[in-house]
Chain A
């Protein structure tokens, strides 16, 4: 058996030379000083491969047009087996890749590995860094949620402000009349066709350069007494494994953000870029007025040019004996500036409440009565949309519900639902809706107008669910939301400015323990209901 396998390998080697090339690749002589510091390049390559794999998988279930993109991604996350994991790997993988690429660059810089004759290796590496960031920037738009849309609006504005080339670049990005289908198609094609092609060629060139010049020895004339395989390969593998474990845990336990569907009319949304672009975002705030272009274009361009010129910068004579110290201080300074800007940006972020939400507070819809928000939720959950249109659309079996002639009073609707429920006529329902549920649905329908329906349809299901819990829990008998409801308990707008998330959570379970004398009954919500309710309450305007 073994000899057969050997014979087959030999045959294959003879015809293709691949096994010999692979052996040659693994058995490269490397300097004795090579060690754990040299693993980052391999980890970056590995993460790229993970991004490629997960990216292809996502594309299998993705509709690359605005609107549909959002629906299909939601489908991936909610319906496809393992879809949440694959999306998580791709999302967090991009962040991890940026981190590792920067670590790799810092190591190469500190070890002076960019110097003659490795200038081309460094420049190819710098291009790879820019390509990695370009992947992040273009991929940001593809979920087509509010975050993606508004983030890209800012990007497009910055591109437009580039002196001389601005209009041409805007034209190339299809953003002349705002971010829309054209920009989306351009970003998608960049992200999935052009950038992958270029980065693969660049990676090949980069690795070829590394092989051509070998790993940089710690000192000139150092002996190359070890081989890449197995010791260095072992270190690389352990590092890749550690990176993958981290990535997998992130993907499995952290939800990749997916906000509401992109809404160009949502003027309350404050766009924030991905964390690794936050420093640029903060930089813009320093330069105002006509100087803004310094922050958006001049400084970043200067930094990129400096990056490319690093191999050609001659360190002054008097510093040369302290080369390592100078390099270390430079890296620290750059990191310090970056960290300072990023931290400032994070601190100055508009305060969110303890409850995590992807949407900004005081969204347009938050002042709508909870019954109506709950109502649209029931409308969607009970599949009313399969027979009724809310606004317009293809002809359906039941009447269009925002048509003016159909407006019935709330009492009529409740009666109508109850009638149909008894006779088992057209309206189907999975289980018998309770009176508060029917009440909410009827209130929503009785007050339905085309523009309000549009607004309601964009409320994400996590908030409609929260409003439903609010309605079915009859919270309004004692509490006020947006000024409507009972006066026995405190009003709930701004609750999370007064209380922490943990406090509210504990309070539901045992009100008297936290507020002695309260007559509020304990509520035992399912964790999902409780979180939805808190998220809804947190989104209310103050």
Chain B
């Protein structure tokens, strides 16, 4: 007959082992699931640039919306799609290209020549030509495309998120 204290010790040992092993298994599974769901997928392609056309005919200092075709890697698909940008030919000949979405909640804004501002119809955010917020709920300046010129043609790269004001 086992003495009652060894019996209790054995029971406790069983209980401890059960909780340890099951927490270990649950931990590994939870860790794998967490990594899988929250980890950053490895990018399979380097950043791509798209030809946005000849911009030398733009009027300096007048924002204009242009559309162009780009290839976008969307997880396991590479999509060929239309995209747009608000492009300004600056006086010094450089080019600024803004992402066409308001930094507040992602509505498409437009240029109001009279007000001399980019105005978002959704919640009234407004941005000046430098992309800075001049009115409304938006917290960040407009996001810009990476730009480079090849001869007269503008090439647009990835959108760079602006920092909060």
Interface positions of A (Cβ within 8 A of B)? 50, 53, 57, 60-61, 63, 68, 71-72, 74-75, 78-83, 85-86, 89, 230-231, 233-234, 237-238, 240-241, 244, 248, 383, 385-386, 393-397, 424-426, 428, 430
Instruction: Out of A72, A86, A395, name the residue touching B32 (CB < 8 Å).
Output: A86
The answer to whether A57 touches B36, judged by C-beta atoms less than 8 angstroms apart, is: yes
Q: How far is the CA of A425 from the CA of B155 in the complex (A)?
A: 12
With beta carbons under 8 angstroms apart, the residue of B38, B39, B49, B75 that contacts A428 is: B49
CB <8 Å contact, B45 and A383: yes
A61 to B69, CA, bound (A): 27
B40 lies within 8 A of chain A by Cβ: yes
Cα A57 to Cα B21 with chains together (Å): 23
* Complex CA–CA separation, A248 to B24 (angstroms): 12
Minimum CB distance partner of B151 in chain A: A425
Taking the nearest CB of chain B, how far is it from the CB of A85, in angstroms?
6
Partner among A60, A230, A395 whose Cβ is within 8 Å of the Cβ of B18:
A230
* Interface class of chain A by DSSP: helix
B51, A80: Cβ atoms under 8 Å? no
Stretch at the interface among B55-63, B76-84, B133-141: B76-84
Chain A to chain B contacts (Cβ below 8 Å), 21 pairs = A68-B76, A71-B76, A75-B75, A75-B76, A79-B42, A80-B42, A82-B35, A82-B36, A85-B32, A85-B36, A86-B36, A231-B14, A234-B14, A234-B17, A234-B18, A237-B21, A383-B45, A383-B46, A395-B80, A396-B71, A397-B51
B11 CB-CB contact with A under 8 Å = yes
- Among A78, A86, A238, which residue has its beta carbon within 8 angstroms of that of B44? A78
Determine if A82 and B46 form an interchain contact, defined as CB atoms under 8 angstroms apart.
no
- Within the complex, the shortest CB–CB distance from B2 to chain A, in Å, comes to 13
Interface string of B78-121 (1 = CB under 8 A from A): 10100000000000000000000000000000000000000000
Are A61 and B32 interface neighbours, CB within 8 A? no
Contacts of B75 in A (CB 8 A): 61, 72, 75, 79
Residues of B contacting A72 with CB < 8 Å? 75-76
**B9 sits at the interface (CB 8 A):** no
Which residue of chain A has its CB nearest to the CB of B33? A57
In the bound complex, residues from chain B placing their C-beta under 8 Å from that of A428 are: 49
Question: Does B122 sit at the interface, judged by CB under 8 A?
Answer: no
Find out whether the CB atom of B78 lies under 8 angstroms from the CB atom of A81.
no
**How many angstroms between the C-alpha atoms of A231 and B10 in the bound complex?**
9
For the complex of A and B, 8 pairs with smallest distance between CB atoms: A81-B39, A75-B76, A82-B35, A230-B14, A234-B14, A71-B76, A386-B71, A79-B41
B3-47 contact mask (Cβ, 8 Å, vs A): 1 or 0: 000000001001101100110110011001101111111111110
Q: What is the distance, in angstroms, from B123's C-beta to the closest C-beta of chain A?
A: 33
A27 to chain B, nearest CB (A): 13
Q: Are A385 and B51 in contact (CB under 8 A)?
A: no
CB of B32 within 8 A of CB of A430, answer no
Are B21 and A238 closer than 8 Å at their CB atoms? yes
B-side contacts of A86, CB under 8 Å: 32-33, 36
Closest chain A residue to B36, Cβ basis:
A82
Q: Which residues of B contact A75 (CB under 8 A)?
A: 41, 44, 75-76
| Cβ A248 vs Cβ B14 within 8 A | no
